[in-house]
């Protein structure tokens, strides 16, 4: 129907036009929500139509405009970006269904602004996924930061705005202060910023500058939440839960680790980077982040903050996997992006459902809640198992690949970290789940409640099922992602 280049362009235009449509339909909530859902479905259909092409080895391109000599705004779809775009656009449908339940069930204000910003954030995510060079990626990266600010500051009171400022301050500060100079440095060395299989920096930079550039990229991409630039993520938890679910468990944070993986694979090139000792630095930072964030999560009682710290750790899994630089682990990195997305969005959906039904946010008050909300808590359990990495959930698969890569590399630090993290994850998820199902209710809710509104239950059940399905049907995805190793 459309050529491949047109499909790429449409992936940006559909959510953009959708945002306008949502704004125009603001006065009629039912029309507005219809526009959101239609936009989401159209976008997913459009993005997925590229899947067979990329799977068969095609790399659709779209050249937009030359911004500077040798530097253009251009798009090129490759397996990593394809996966990210397919994931984000697909989950947007589920998340929109959930949002309708959540925003109405909660009587939130400014709903039109919420849906408009959401659509723009999705456009930015598509731009990041399909970008053909670092400059294009950077542009959409910043659009994503700015468009999510109103979502984080949604509630509008003093404390929320303060958190939102932390959010934007850290993300803008790291990207302008570190990522931008790293990019310009790369450009001055290589004369290009195109994502090229095999990398563009081979032989153009030597130790110890490689380490410096690597760190500038690792911390410049604040969205990957490596410690110590992770604070924006817990701060973003003041947002309504659908935002935390799709953006701060999938689109925004995955944009971060996606960018880092892309930089490793297509800017440095994994063979070149592997020959440089300083890539170990990133391994240490990722291991440190995994362990420390798990300990912090152990001490959280606010459910959403606990999930946020869990996310920080899980993001570092991806960074760790990418920085081991072995074939299995690179595939593992992309697999974990997907597995974690399904699991974590389920967890956030469940947290939001609990909040809408019972207004509870603290895990100490949630004993026995599994009896009132069995579907929700069952889905939560599936998500938690996936975080821990137990079969039969998606988390087991991706961990398998990452461990495989660590063994190929004889990397005992990574192995030990993964084992420790598994135990810690179990330590903060399992007691809560047991208490939710087995104990008597300790805090009476203000009014008697059962499950949350049905759109929310449908959404969280769907994502829990996806977590199962990923366990069973991951092979095509692994095959697709193995292509990133081709030169």
Partner 1 sequence: MTLYDQLPALLIAVPLFTAPIAYLLRAHGLPWAAATAAVVMTFIISCSIAATVIGGETIVYEMGGWPAPYGIVLHIDALSALLAMLVTGSSAAALIFGAKSLADEVGEEIAPSFFAAWILCTAGLTGMVVTGDAFNIFVFMEISSLSTYILVSAGPDRRALVATYRYIVMGTIGATFYLIGVGFLYMSTGTLNTMDLAARLGDVTELRPVLVAAGFITVGLALKAAIFPLHSWMPNAYTFAPNVVTVFIAAASAKVSLYVMMRIDYAIFYKNIPNHELQLALLLAPMAILALFAGSMLAIYERNLKRLLAYSSVAQVGYIALGIAMSSVAGLTGAIVHMFNHGVIKGGMFMAVACLALRYRSVNIANLAGAGRAMPWTMAAFVIGGLGLIGVPLTPGFISKWYLVLGALEQGGFGAFLVMVILASSLLAVIYVWKVIEVAYFKEPRANAAPIEGEAPLVMLIPTWIVVLTGIWLGINSYVPVTLATLGAETLLGAR
Positions in the binding site for partner 1 (CB under 8 A): 65-69, 73, 135, 138-139, 142, 156, 161, 172-173, 176-177, 180-181, 184-185, 187-188
CB closer to partner 1 out of 180 and 378: 180
Rank residues 54 and 193 by Cβ distance to partner 1 and give the closer one: 193
**For residue 55, what are its two tokens?**
């799977």
Long-range contacts of 174-178 (CB under 8 A, 24+ apart): 174/219, 174/220, 174/221, 174/222, 174/229, 175/138, 175/141, 175/142, 175/145, 175/220, 175/221, 175/222, 177/220, 178/216, 178/217, 178/219, 178/220
When the beta carbons of 66 and 441 are compared against partner 1, the nearer one is 66
Supply the minimum distance, in Å, between the C-beta of residue 139 and partner 1: 4
Helices 252-262 and 79-105: angle between axes, nearest 10 degrees: 170
- The counts of H helices and E strands in the chain are 22, 2
Q: Between residues 84 and 138, which has the closer beta carbon with respect to partner 1?
A: 138
**Residue 205 C-beta: closest distance to partner 1, Å:** 12
For partner 1, give the closer residue by CB, 171 or 324.
171
DSSP summary character for residue 239: S
User: Which of residues 162 and 359 has its CB atom nearest to partner 1 in the complex?
Assistant: 162
Q: Which helix (H) or strand (E) holds 62?
A: strand 61-68
Query: DSSP characters for 128-180?
Result: HHHBSBHHHHHHHHHHHHHHHHHHHTTT-SHHHHHHHHHHHHHHHHHIIIIIH
Question: Closest separation between CB of residue 152 and partner 1, Å?
Answer: 13
Burial 28-65 (b: 16+ CB within 10 A, else e): eeeebbebbbebbbbbbebbeebbeebeeeeebebeee
* Residue number with CB closer to partner 1 (134 or 312): 134
For the chain, the straight-line distance linking the first and the last C-alpha, in angstroms and rounded, comes to 31
The least CB distance from residue 229 to partner 1, in Å, is: 14
Q: How far is the CB of 146 from partner 1 (least distance, A)?
A: 8
Whether the upstream peptide bond of residue 225 has omega within 30° of 0, thus cis, is no
Least distance from C-beta 68 to partner 1, angstroms?
A: 6
Neighbours of 250 (CB within 10 A): 27
To the nearest whole angstrom, how small is the minimum distance from the Cβ of residue 170 to partner 1?
Answer: 11
Q: How big is the chain, counted in residues?
A: 487
Least Å distance between CB 435 and partner 1? 41
Give 1 or 65: the residue with its C-beta nearer to partner 1.
65
Do the Cβ atoms of 342 and 474 come closer than 8 Å?
no
**Please, which residue, 171 or 249, has the CB nearer to partner 1?**
171
Q: Quick one: tokens of 366? A: 């949630």
Do 62 and 8 touch, CB atoms closer than 8 A? yes
Instruction: Tell me how far, at minimum, the Cβ of 190 lies from partner 1, in Å.
Output: 13
Q: 170 or 353, CB closer to partner 1?
A: 170
Burial of 357 (0-12, 13-18, 19+ CB in 10 A): buried
Pairing of strands 61-68, 71-76: antiparallel
Closest distance to partner 1 from the beta carbon of 67 (Å): 6
């Amino acid at each position: 129907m459309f050529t491949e280049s047109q499909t790429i362009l449409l992936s940006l235009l559909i959510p953009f036009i959708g945002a306008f449509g949502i704004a125009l339909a603001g006065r009629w909530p039912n029309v507005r929500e219809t526009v959101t859902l239609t936009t989401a479905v159209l976008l997913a259909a459009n993005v997925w139509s590229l899947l067979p092409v990329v799977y068969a080895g095609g790399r659709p391109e779209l050249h937009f405009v030359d911004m500077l000599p040798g530097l253009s705004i251009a798009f090129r779809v490759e397996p990593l970006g394809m996966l990210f775009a397919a994931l984000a656009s697909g989950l947007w449908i589920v998340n929109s269904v959930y949002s309708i339940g959540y925003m109405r069930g909660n009587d939130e204000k400014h709903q039109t602004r919420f849906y408009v910003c959401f659509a723009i954030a999705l456009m930015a995510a598509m731009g990041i996924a399909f970008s053909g060079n670092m400059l294009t990626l950077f542009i959409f990266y910043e659009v994503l930061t700015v468009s999510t600010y109103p979502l984080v500051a949604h509630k509008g009171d003093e404390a929320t705005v303060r958190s939102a400022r932390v959010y934007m301050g850290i993300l803008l500060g790291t990207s302008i202060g570190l990522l931008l100079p790293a990019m310009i440095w790369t450009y001055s060395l290589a004369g290009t910023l195109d994502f090229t299989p095999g990398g563009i920096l081979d032989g153009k930079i030597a130790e110890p500058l490689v380490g410096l550039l690597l760190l500038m990229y690792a911390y410049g991409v604040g969205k990957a939440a490596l410690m110590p630039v992770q604070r924006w993520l817990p701060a973003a938890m003041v947002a309504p839960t659908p935002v935390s679910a799709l953006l701060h468990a999938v689109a925004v944070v995955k944009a971060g680790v996606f960018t880092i993986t892309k930089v490793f694979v297509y800017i440095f090139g994994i063979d070149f980077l592997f020959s440089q000792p300083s890539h170990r630095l990133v391994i240490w930072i990722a291991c440190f982040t995994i362990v420390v964030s798990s300990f912090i999560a152990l001490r959280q009682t606010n459910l959403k903050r606990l999930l946020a710290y869990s996310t920080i750790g899980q993001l570092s899994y991806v960074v760790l996997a990418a920085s081991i630089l072995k074939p299995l682990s690179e595939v593992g990195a992309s697999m974990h992006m997907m597995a974690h997305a399904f699991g974590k969005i389920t967890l956030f959906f469940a947290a939001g459902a609990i909040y809408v039904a019972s207004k509870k946010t603290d895990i100490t008050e949630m004993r026995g809640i599994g009896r009132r909300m069995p579907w929700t808590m069952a889905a939560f359990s599936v998500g938690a198992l996936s975080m821990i990495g137990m079969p039969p959930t998606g988390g087991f698969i991706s961990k398998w690949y990452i461990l495989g890569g660590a063994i190929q590399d004889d990397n005992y630090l990574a192995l030990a970290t993964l084992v420790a993290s598994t135990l810690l994850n179990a330590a903060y998820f399992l007691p809560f789940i047991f208490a939710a199902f087995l104990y008597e209710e300790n805090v009476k809710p203000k009014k008697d409640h059962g499950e949350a509104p049905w759109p929310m239950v449908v959404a969280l059940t769907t994502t829990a099922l996806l977590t199962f399905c990923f366990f069973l049907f991951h092979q095509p995805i692994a095959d697709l992602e193995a292509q990133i190793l081709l030169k």
